[in-house]
Amino acid sequence: MTDPSRIAEPSRGPGRVEMEGLTITFKLPGGETLDAVKDVDLALEPGSFTALIGPSGCGKSTILNAIAGFVEISGGTIRIDRETVTGINPEVGVVFQQYALFPWFTAIGNVEFALKRLRLPKAERRDRAIEALREVGLEDRARTFPGQLSGGMKQRVALARTFASEPKVLLMDEPFGALDAQTRVSMQELLLRVWDMHRATVLFVTHDVDEALLLSDWAHVMSAGPGRIVESIDVDTPRPRKVDEVTEDFLDNRNRIMRLLRPDETGGGAEA
Amino acid sequence: MKPIGKLLNVALSLIGVTVVWWLVATSGLISQELFPTPHAVFIAALELYEDGILFSDLAVSLGRAAVGFLIGASLGILVGLLTARTRLFAYALGPFLNLLRPIPAIALVPVAIVWFGIGEGSKYFVIAYTVFLAVWLNTHHGTAHVALTYIRAARSLGARRTREFFEVIIPAAAPHIVVGLRLGAALAFLSLVAAELSGASAGIGFRLQDARDYVRTDRMFVGLIELGILGALLDQFFVVVGNKLVHWEQM
Ligand SMILES: Nc1ncnc2c1ncn2[C@@H]1O[C@H](COP(=O)(O)OP(=O)(O)OP(=O)(O)O)[C@@H](O)[C@H]1O
Ligand SMILES: [Mg+2]
């Protein structure tokens, strides 16, 4: 899938996501309509990590659902490696906030569910599933059912499951929102480690500005609904980053985003 | 409660009820012809046992319930899966099945006898009908309301329709199907008795009817107690097996 016009660009791996004029309108029961997302242009570089921040209800989840093929778009286009998204597609992995692990399968069963599409021989599938669990530090819990795992462990199995199917793009909708602060930090570090091994293009929705700046290459800030992107911040703090080493860049970026998120200024800031 | 505690609870409660029963029956307020003592009922049971009737009745009734249940339950699961997941079946059968729901098994007995005669066929039919409706309804409901995130997760993990059906939809609906089976088993007993009350020559329901003709309330009580014990054991069986089968969702 080499496209001559792209060869000059810095990163050429798979997983480029392009949204142009993305508009998503919901039909409400009363016959009215609601623009959840309007005219959003956004491009994600292959293998990059992008955070999406914005006030509640601005359409972050809706954008993710559209890329995943869960909701139909009303206008514009979404392309992944120049192919228009038309529905749910295993090239796009999703990590859900409520984990969405299958409770009737063990941890390894959940990971193998994802591996089945690769049609590997059984023994190899098993090995790869164990390897995926090892990456998230849960190989000794392979036979445990999700009901017996803690929230953080469930989310680790969910990560292992999603990465195991080798998606080009990984969507995460506030994946650590339900976790306590400590578990959250270790999950963030783990995510960066696993992402570094697989290098999928990540789009990560969060309410937490620190989390966005810790994880991402780009942080896009959205205005109140119908959401548009009001500011895109290139987070060039060098990696590996540490939670306990706050740099000046970090603080600058943090202040900038905080100002944008203040309700009285989002409207004005958006037009500027 | 722990198993021991539970057993103790059951035993104490039954002993208490038996004592009250005995007090009422021997108080002289009611004729013992109409309300026999626990002792009389025990003697009647012994009599039936010695005549070889007690267990043969039990076997006949259980056999009928089992055959009717198996037919009704398998059809119920099959049709439930179909009406929940395929439009054709939903539109073609949904309204009809919902019309059947309010028709009680007992109302079907005369029809069943005309259709299948007074042999085993009519009993199987009445029992299977009742079980079918309960199992169908629960299977349909559970299968139609599988959480959207499971379906989305399955598809974005690359599962195609067959795998989605067998590895996601069926397990997700399983707790509801088990509830349907448990309910179906209880209803199988209700309709069994309805079917046996007319046109049978053996079985617990027949024995109840037979005892009425001779005003043998002691024998009737034996039949009622049998039904109670069988039903309770069967229900426990479904709880235990159900909890094993759908271990991720305790009943
Ligand atoms: N299925 C739907 N039907 C109708 N309206 C919807 C639907 N899904 C979302 N919306 C509406 O679209 C808007 C954007 O919702 P969305 O869930 O994308 O917000 P969000 O940015 O993810 O918010 P939060 O941060 O609270 O999760 C909201 O006004 C919401 O009510
Ligand atoms: Mg959301």
Q: What is the pLDDT of residues B70-99, one digit of tens each?
A: 999 999 999 999 999 999 999 999 899 989
pLDDT recorded at residue B183: 94
A105 lies in some domain: no
Cross-chain CB nearest to B248 (options A68, A98, A147)? A147
> Cα–Cα distance between B83 and B75 in angstroms, integer?
12
Mean predicted confidence (pLDDT) in A184-205: 91
In a domain, A96, yes or no: no
**Partner residue opposite B158 with nearest CB, options A68, A90, A98:** A90
Contacts of B249 in chain A (CB under 8 A): 103
First to last CA, chain B: 14
CB of A72 sitting under 6 A from ligand 1: no
Cis peptide bond prior to A29, omega within 30° of 0: no
Tell me whether residue A52 is in a domain.
yes
- Please report whether residue A16 resides in a domain: yes
Task: Name the A residues in 96-135 with CB < 8 Å from any B CB.
Answer: 96, 98, 100, 102-105, 113-114, 116-117
Q: Of all helices (H) and strands (E), which one includes residue A233?
A: strand A229-234
CA distance B205 to B58: 10
Probe residue for ligand 1, chosen from A22, A23, A24, A26 as the CB with the greatest number of ligand atoms within 8 Å: A26
What pLDDT shows up at residue A95?
93
Residue A223 DSSP label: P
For B114, counting Cβ atoms within 10 Å of its Cβ (0-12 exposed, 13-18 middle, 19+ buried), the class is exposed
In this structure, the residue with its CA closest to atom 2 of ligand 1 is A26
Our answer on whether the CB atom of A62 is closer than 6 Å to any ligand 1 atom is yes
- Asked if A57 has any chain B CB less than 8 Å from its own CB, the reply is no
Query: Is the CB of residue A89 less than 8 Å away from at least one CB of chain B?
Result: yes
CB A85 within 8 A of CB A67: yes
Using the beta-carbon criterion (under 8 Å), do B248 and A68 form an inter-chain contact?
no
The CATH number of the domain holding residue A230 is 3.40.50.300
Higher pLDDT: A17 or A225? It is A17
As for the ipTM of the complex, it is 0.86
Phi, psi at residue A227, to the nearest 5°? -70, 140
* Contact between chains at A165 and B168 (C-beta distance less than 8 A): no
pLDDT 10s digits, A127-170: 999 999 999 999 999 999 999 999 899 999 999 999 998 899 99
3-state secondary structure of B123: helix
Given a contact cutoff of 8 angstroms between Cβ atoms, the answer to whether B147 and A155 are in contact is no
Contact status, residue A248 vs residue A213, Cβ threshold 8 Å: no
* Structure confidence by residue, pLDDT tens digits, B164-192: 999 999 999 999 999 999 999 999 988 88
Residue A42 lies in domain:
4-86+201-271
Question: Is residue A216, in this structure, part of any structural domain at all?
Answer: yes
Q: How many domains does chain A have?
A: 1
The larger pLDDT score, comparing residue B188 to residue A271, is at: B188
The answer as to whether A185 is a domain residue is: no
CB neighbourhood size of B92 (10 A): 12
Cβ(A60) to ligand 1 under 6 A?
yes
In a domain, A192, yes or no: no
Domains of chain B in sequence order? 50-245 (1.10.3720.10)
Query: Rounded distance, CA A114 to CA A104, Å?
Result: 15
Residue of B4, B97, B54 lying closest to B207 (CA atoms): B54
In chain A, pLDDT over 70 holds for what percent of residues? 92
| A27 ligand 1 Cβ < 6 A | no
Examine residue A106 and state whether it is found in any structural domain, yes or no.
no
User: What single-letter DSSP state applies at residue A227?
Assistant: B
The Cα of B100 is separated from the nearest Cα of chain A by a number of Å equal to 32
Contacts of A65 (CB under 8 A, 6+ apart): A71
Q: Which residues are CB-contacts of B247 (< 8 A; sequence separation ≥ 6)?
A: A145
What's the confidence (pLDDT) of residue B83? 94
pTM assigned to the model: 0.85
